[in-house]
Structure 1
């Protein structure tokens, strides 16, 4: 088998043109999913069992079903209901592949993000929260000044993996005719019969994007957790013989 590597350089600009759509899908759904996931996590941590039920069922469904099925349910499934097609959201949102992909990715990643945040909050040392209670912080103050900042620092490694999973999962957007990186690779390879070369190039682009995500989160983690490696000068002086 002879591989035509020249085709990669010929169509590389076309593949790179899909990067913008891929990044847009990941960033928009990531931001919305994080906000929604935070709310779900706080509901899951409620002491009221009834309040926990709905977010639990939501998370169970979206973590337990394939992302591709969720995309199809939203893009193809919603059109089966006349009241949805007659609604004001049909033309500008639910009929558009881009926004259907955003909705599917948001719902999916919010379920995973909720569990990541919940786990991070539960892993905060109890003494830190008790100290906040001891100095008279209100529940809102403790949440915004202690609980969430500490949880965000703890969850960064796990959340960076979720963003990478979302980046790779965005390739499923091609199934509803969106021309992201994978969609462009599929179109060009079908026309040129260079399947291996085009998908190899697409894989390298995803690899580079994943590396950028990992590096970015590594820098964020280092900044948010800089207090963990800080040693007061008086401690250092006491350890010097």
Structure 2
């Protein structure tokens, strides 16, 4: 392990002026995809719980497709499948977008986590206590204000434990990014293994890095839960 760290730690952890480290690429993929999925999932979750089938059915279909197919297949579909279409290659913007592995990876990751997050938030919205809604109406809030000031903040707080699991699962899912030639932590580990044939140390170091990131994420979410879900703690006798 010491030899591997001495020879290849820069590829795993160090970013220079020309190349991002595997850790930096992995965190970039995670942050961008999670941010995209979070922002898109809130309006989609509202549409998902709507009584109008014209709003809820398309969101249900989107969620069903992306939760019902493997992320690896989705990445291959965007990275190789889309670019094989003549209509994509003939349009400059589409041709440039789907030719880049980073773009396809972010698109696949963002849509995948958006589908799962939409269902998490939709479930939290449905579980909003009716008394909170009645209290908002008693203050004369219209539907938009009710969602903005009561339902959405309350739902996001209750969804925090489930959403923390989704973020951690998304971190682990970034390991398929090497398929699109994106140099994440696993891609660096595979390159180290190919150069040294020391699989135990190469992948062991990668696993250690993922474990440290997961530990930090869990600690951050636990701190957030202790702050924003304090009112749900059982009362002491």
Q: What TM-score do the two structures reach when normalised by structure 2?
A: 0.91
CA distance in 2, matches of 1:76, 1:100: 9
CA distance in 2, matches of 1:148, 1:222: 19
Q: How does 1:21-32 map to 2 (within 5 A)?
A: 21-32=25-36
Aligned pair 1:146/2:143, yes or no? no
Q: CA RMSD in A?
A: 1.9
Larger radius of gyration: 1
Q: How does 1:165-176 map to 2 (within 5 A)?
A: 165-176=169-180
The answer as to whether partners of 1:8 and 1:198 remain within 8 angstroms in 2 is no
Per mean C-alpha deviation after superposition, the further-off stretch among 160-169 and 39-48 is 39-48
CA distance in 2, matches of 1:126, 1:9: 59
Q: How does 1:1-241 map to 2 (within 5 A)?
A: 5-16=2-13, 17-228=21-232
- 5+ residue gaps in structure 1? none
Q: Deviations over 1:11-54 (max 9, x none)?
A: 22221221100000010011111111112211111101232111
- 5+ residue gaps in structure 2? 14-20
The answer as to whether partners of 2:12 and 2:188 remain within 8 angstroms in 1 is yes
Per mean C-alpha deviation after superposition, the further-off stretch among 49-58 and 112-121 is 49-58
CA distance 1:191–1:221, shift in 2 (3 Å): same
The answer as to whether partners of 1:189 and 1:198 remain within 8 angstroms in 2 is yes
Q: What TM-score do the two structures reach when normalised by structure 1?
A: 0.90
Q: CA deviation at 1:87?
A: 1.7
- How many aligned residue pairs are there? 230
SS of 1:89's partner is helix
The answer as to whether partners of 2:33 and 2:109 remain within 8 angstroms in 1 is yes
